[in-house]
Structure 1
Amino acid sequence: MHPGGSGDPDTGPIPILGPRPAPPPGRSPAEARAAEPPAPGPEPRAAVTEAPTPTTEEIGPTLVPGARQPTGRAGRNMVAAIGVGAGLGAVILASLLIYRPAFLLVVTAAVLVAVVELVRALQAGGARPPVVPVLVGTVAMIALAWTRGGSGLVVGFLLTVLAVLLWRLGTGPAGYLRDASAGVLVTLYVPLLAGFAVLLLVPDDGAARVLAFIATVVGNDVGGFAAGVLFGKHPMAPSISPKKSWEGMAGSVLACVLIATPIVVLALEGPWWGGVLFGAALAVTATIGDLGESLIKRDLGIKDMGNLLPGHGGIMDRLDSLLPSAAVAYLLLSVLVPG
């Protein structure tokens, strides 16, 4: 309480408003201001020191709901990848061994989805390939390959390319070359190469030919993955696919030869050296196909072509090594083991 006051708490000295009093004689205004006590102000705050944020090494990995969890050196969910791969293999085996034409339905469905995935990826990169003529041409090319052989596949491809070029005319000249070229690329890359898998099925022993082709490519993926994870030290193409190594490539060749040779000899009655050649050639083409799709994805700035298959990505991510290998497998088996 202030003595003799009204009972209000003491709030400090009352500031003087108005002009400052004249300085005493003998002092300059600057000296007078320096001698005045400082005006009351807020008390200084105590310095606050923030604790450093702990690093991941100090507290361990934090599992955030909804975030992608660590997957190890493989770079993917191996449990999901193995489960999906086994399911796809069962569908392919059943279609080949029970009723061969059912394999055409499997191929057609997979290729149609892959075309849509690739078109969407190219659209994200700025191109607008015509999707309708490519989808219609895909069905026509597979049907013609099954009924008319290689000549039917070529005719279907040429007609599809013509349809792509004419269809794109309807949207004007702006970006025509870019969009039309992208449409031709999709037609060449997916349905044309997939048509060679249909050509493999046409002979009487077509089921064995398709199994030899698919099993060898699967061996490429499994052998390359295992050898790369265990021994990979020398990158093959670090700017395209950093995880691919020359050690993994050696594992791919070895696995392909070990799988292809007994199938070619026992199921197709071909020479043993033909099996070795077949396995080594498909190891090369499957790796080139994988790197080719990785190059496209790097250029477009995406990780996967889709997310339909857990642990794998999209259908196109599974067909990347199969598509070029189908053409090489058809050509080699036509020479090594004529139908």
Structure 2
Amino acid sequence: MPRAIRLLALFCIMAVPLAALAREQTLLEYAEQCAREIGEIPAFDCNGGTDIPITINGKPPAQNESPRRCDKPSLLHPDSEVMGQCIPYSKILNLSRGNTQIAAYCRRNTLRADMDPHYDEVDIVVHHSGNGKTCWFQSAPASGTKGFDATRVPPPNEKKPPPGRPAAVEFWTSPAKVAAENPGCASCHDAGPFIFSPYIGQVWDKVPTDPWGRYSNIGAAFSSHRLTTITTPGNACIGCHRIGSEKSCTAYIGLSAGKLSAPGNNALANRYPLSHWMPADNNMSEAQWNEANVKSVEALLACCNDKAHKNPNCSFNPVPSSSNANYSK
């Protein structure tokens, strides 16, 4: 065999595994990895969740009202106005067991009755409080305003659904598409898997938390994302949780300290105390809050702007991530 042909044959043999390595991880492959390394996500009914309250000046909206502004809007999209920020009857479910922490958010972008089975979006965070590994799942976009039947949300790794039920590969978006969103899950959840906001804080007892635990995003689509936290000496803002260097810098620090107005905020939400929602148990006057926290907020924002990491008062550290230790589920 001529040398050129032998080289071509060798190249073709080598190209197959290289192409396989470059191939995107499928939904089922990603979901299987998450189930194996974190824990299984069960099937569930969105209507089994807890309503996330919507109020306007302290009162629920009228029965047929679809408000665009409210006291505590959803911050699923912290930078822009989107449908559903103040629509009633979105729900949260805590599906956790043992070290496997699972939060499921069933979102309505269109006004429907409380127990209507149709929803517009389902998002899941699954996190292991021992090894810190975390996965993200988002439903495929709903068609128009009809939404989809969420009486049985399929486990993302389910290969064959029951008769008449949607398959996982039809219901869930691929991991590559979820990871490519801007802002992405890891960018918003830059300090830990679960984020407090006035909206979700109303049902915080239904949300698993792990503010100081190990934290890393697994799966090929998310593996390149490296999470970093920021601290300054004696900072009052880091007593309860870490501060991330991504969306925390560009949105959440300002939103929680009255420096930014959240999309969907009404006039009440833009006034103290609702405009200052950190610490979560804030019962201070505005003057007391300023005295206790303004310097810490300004120090963190200065670090956020320190792109070259030259400010001696700023510490930038990777989030403690997964280890090879064995943890029970």
The alignment's TM-score, normalised by the length of structure 2, stands at 0.22
Query: Which structure dedicates a bigger proportion of its chain to helix?
Result: 1
TM-score, reference length from structure 1: 0.22
Larger strand fraction of residues: 2
- In our comparison, the structure showing a higher alpha carbon Rg is 1
